Structure 1
Amino acid sequence: MNILRAALLLLLCSAPLAQAAAPARVVGLGGPVTEIIYALGAGERLVGADASSIYPAEAHRLPKVGYYRSFSIEGVASLKPDLVLASEDSGPLHALEQLRRLGSLVVILPSAPTLEALDQRIMGVAKALDIEPRGAALVQKLHADLRAVRPSPAKPRVLLISSHTGRLQGAGDDTAAAAMLKLMDARNVLAGQRGYKPLSAEAAVALRPEVIVTGRMSVDASGGLDAFLAQPGLAATPAARSRRVVVMDDLLLLGFGPRLPEALRLLDAGFSTQAVAR
């Protein structure tokens, strides 16, 4: 993060949260942020959200303000929010500053795929909404549920794939998907690669994954699970031949949110059984 961005984020984050009343009109920027608002039982305060806010079902009915990385200032301002809760990846940065100048309290929340950052996201949202006891209770439950997840000893070779744009891309290190595998002590066949990169058919075959993990949007974009596994490169992998594939709701897989224990349980089931689709 450059110095200018860090300074402005500090300015936005340090804006006083004390108000005459708890915020009543809230816009969420970033699917994980919106999901946390609902998990805290404050969904009725949401008047809008960005396009990545796809969970829970109620989020689909909210007015949308574009994608959180390039949201519409006019779209947010038209909703007259007194509070904007935004992932730190939201932007552009000048748009967040403009919202603050228009009178909205803007709170930036960490987006890193770590348990520490998840705790900070939950408590940051709870503090901004003036419901900190609910935040503490959710964090406590989250960690209790995580302690109950007991990964199986099976450590297969796992390939994390995104193809909803029509192109195979594999997830390497420094991604939320890789962080999930690390929590399960699983083996990412693209460990050593940074971020998402295009994956050729030849490379997919050479990686010899025993399990493929992907999002529901990628499967739907391919026309179903059979078509997804029949893609050049994937079809010849041990994972496709044995149909060992974990298909998860994209926000569940990549959001690193309050449903993290559920996501880990589904991954573990996929590592130890033939196929899991959710």
Structure 2
Amino acid sequence: MKILQKRWRRAALLGMPGLLCAAGLAHAAAPARVVGLGGPVTEIVYALDAGASMVGADASSLYPPAALKLPKVGYYRAFSVEGVASLKPDLVLASDQSGPPQALEQLQRLGSKVVVVPSAPTLAALDQRILGVAAALGVEARGSALVGRIHAALRDIRPVPAPLRVLLVSSHTGKLEAAGDDTAAAAMLRLVGATNVLPAQSGYKPFSAEAAVALRPDVIVTTTLSVQASGSLDAFLAQPGLSATPAAKARRVVVMDDLLLLGFGPRLPEALRQLEAGLAARSSPR
């Protein structure tokens, strides 16, 4: 299945028959009924002042508050075809990690235009996401303006004052996992000049208490939902995989909204400013 998904994502971005890629998109009229699959994709629609066209979104679409009120169609990686189809969308905007592949193809056969945009946590891919969504919505000028504003704001981002070793932790299910180098969280660290303590790891993987202690992170970065899954920040830091680390003992932890930290969306400058400020405030033991 992973091989199939990789092939499908590449084909979708290159213009696989039956699906439309973001590049070279053309349409006759602005869509009136839009469903978003992927929190960053939905967020871009609202950032382009096109939220009035949204009739549904997936469970990861948590921002802005208006998106929380939309009918939900499951999680974008395994969304409900029936749920999307019931909303009668004329446009489905999807992250390239949406699926399964056959589900998007089925939506297209049912009459919905399906546009796939890249999800990679890079500035180039963010530009493509915004411009692709804007083209699909028929608001190309707004897309170009939004990209310009983001790049202008990013020029004001400064590296953290001291090099910091950071452990990026996710714990939505109660099981601690650390982020490797090919993740959105690690990309955020690079943009503010901090160091991920697991640069050789791929993706998110469980880690032991012994491994966490050996990594000796200066700061722990995690998300609001990860802390909520533990019940409190104290309970989160008391977990065996974290409690013995220098960062946990000194309570040097940065907690950020999940979509803000991991979405790599139109609020990227705000996310980097928050991360930068949090790391700077915890650059030395208190």
TM-score w.r.t. the length of structure 2 is 0.92
Change in 2 beyond 3 A, CA 1:116/1:225 = same
The count of corresponding residues between Structure 1 and Structure 2 is: 274
2: CA distance, partners of 1:274 / 1:5: 39
Residues 1:6 and 2:13 are matched in the alignment:
no
TM-score w.r.t. the length of structure 1 is 0.95
Contact 1:109 1:121 in 2 (8 A): yes
Q: CA deviation at 1:230?
A: 1.1
Change in 2 beyond 3 A, CA 1:160/1:144 = same
In structure 2, the partner of 1:38 is 46
Query: 1:91-240 maps to which residues of 2 (within 5 A)?
Result: 91-240=99-248
In structure 2, the partner of 1:274 is 282
Contact 1:169 1:198 in 2 (8 A): yes
2: CA distance, partners of 1:25 / 1:61: 15
Contact 1:246 1:266 in 2 (8 A): no
Change in 2 beyond 3 A, CA 1:120/1:35 = same
Change in 2 beyond 3 A, CA 1:223/1:95 = same
Query: 1:11-30 maps to which residues of 2 (within 5 A)?
Result: 11=16, 12-14=19-21, 17-19=26-28, 21-30=29-38
1: CA distance, partners of 2:48 / 2:25: 21
2: CA distance, partners of 1:227 / 1:5: 39
1: CA distance, partners of 2:74 / 2:7: 27
2: CA distance, partners of 1:5 / 1:242: 43
Residues 1:52 and 2:28 are matched in the alignment:
no
Contact 2:166 2:197 in 1 (8 A): yes
In structure 1, the partner of 2:91 is 83
Contact 2:209 2:244 in 1 (8 A): no
Contact 2:181 2:203 in 1 (8 A): yes
1: CA distance, partners of 2:161 / 2:145: 31
Structure 2 unpaired stretches of 5+: none
Contact 1:211 1:270 in 2 (8 A): no
Residues 1:248 and 2:256 are matched in the alignment:
yes
Structure 1 unpaired stretches of 5+: none
Contact 1:88 1:110 in 2 (8 A): yes
Q: CA deviation at 1:240?
A: 1.1
Q: CA deviation at 1:274?
A: 3.3
The residue type equivalent to 1:13 in the other structure is L
In structure 1, the partner of 2:78 is 70
Q: CA deviation at 1:213?
A: 0.4
Please give the secondary structure, in 2, of the residue aligned with 1:212. Answer: strand
2: CA distance, partners of 1:6 / 1:190: 28
The residue type equivalent to 1:216 in the other structure is T
1: CA distance, partners of 2:12 / 2:196: 36
For 1:85-112, what per-residue CA distance to the aligned partner results, in whole angstroms no more than 9, with x for missing partners? 0000000111111111111110000000
The residue type equivalent to 2:218 in the other structure is E
Identity %: 71
2: CA distance, partners of 1:162 / 1:3: 28
Contact 1:155 1:271 in 2 (8 A): no
Q: CA deviation at 1:117?
A: 0.2
